[in-house]
Amino acid sequence: MKKWMTGLAALALATAATIGTMEAPAFASPEVKEGKIDLGGYSLFLDVEGEQKKGQPTIIFESGYGEYSETWHLVQPEVEKFARTVVYDRGALGQSDRSLRPRTAAGIAEDLHELLKKANVKPPYILVGHSIGGRYIRMFQNLYPNEVQGLVVVDGTPDRFLDEKGYIPYTKPEYTSIMKESLDSHPEWANWDDFLRSGEEVYRARPSLKHVPMTVLVAPARVSEKSDDDSKWDATFYLEGFESFWQERQRELANLSDNSKYVLTEGTGHSIQREQPHYVIDAIKELMERSKK
């Protein structure tokens, strides 16, 4: 099911008062930084690594569709050398139970917020989201603006991604049907309707990005020499013009903020964090400096 967001990159987030009333740590002791946290009827897994220095944000990672914390295995170990980091598994992925919340951007952002609260991981946060995870971190920022210091969107899924006929632009017509069937086979992750609703949620939330420090990392192509077989399979459905369309949507996202950077990477496919992780690591370092208050 990795096919969906590897190529669908091709398809290719509360307030100060809330901060002040966070619950006590759910961990047994300060040394326990990895495990499953009960959110009331289900548990989600997270892994906290690195030390937080005074005044520093914690870096929170949000994965793409059908992926979980493992996707950051080349990034987190480097970032934890200079910042506190959190990777986690969304509901029904990795070590996490199926969530009871809707699988829309809002439901997933609420899950993450509750998880951080229960784990006593306090703001401010810089959120890093790959693919559809880019939608989820944007919704988190919209719902909890006082807790977010900045965003790094890694080849994020655009908001409204279908043309007027309901197809994914610049792809073979059958690709949209394949993607819909693929998502609907995993409703515990997010089905096709959840995908469309999430796009509308973040589209309506666009004004909240106006002054948010943000970096938008963009892949020059859906696949590279380092891409996996699923990505290469997806690429067989793309038509001429898709890459230009994709990059145009990424620049449109960057332009929503008056404090953003648009970075077109080199030699990467959609999974920048796996293929050229230094781009993500460097973007986090730069944003930590740029977003200092």
Beginning with the edge strand found earlier in the chain, give each strand of the sheet holding 148-154 in spatial order. Answer: 34-38, 43-49, 85-88, 58-62, 125-130, 148-154, 214-218, 260-264
pLDDT-based confidence at residue 226 (cuts at 50, 70, 90):
confident
| pLDDT value at 11 more than 60 | no
Q: Domain segments of the chain: what residues?
A: 3-290
The chain-wide mean pLDDT, for the chain, equals 88
pTM check: above 0.85? yes
Query: Interior CA angle at 85 toward 50 and 114, to 5°?
Result: 130
Residue 58 CA to residue 253 CA, distance in Å, equals 23
Q: What is the mean pLDDT of residues 164-190?
A: 92
Lowest mean pLDDT among 74-83, 165-174, 220-229, 277-286: 220-229
- Cβ distance 151 to 290 under 8 Å? no
Residue 242 CA to residue 171 CA, distance in Å, equals 7
CATH of region 3-290: 3.40.50.1820
220's enclosing H/E stretch is none
Residue 28 CA to residue 19 CA, distance in Å, equals 21
The tens digit of pLDDT for each residue in 30-85 reads: 334 889 999 999 999 999 999 988 889 999 999 999 999 999 999 999 999 999 99
The tens digit of pLDDT for each residue in 239-258 reads: 999 999 999 999 999 999 99
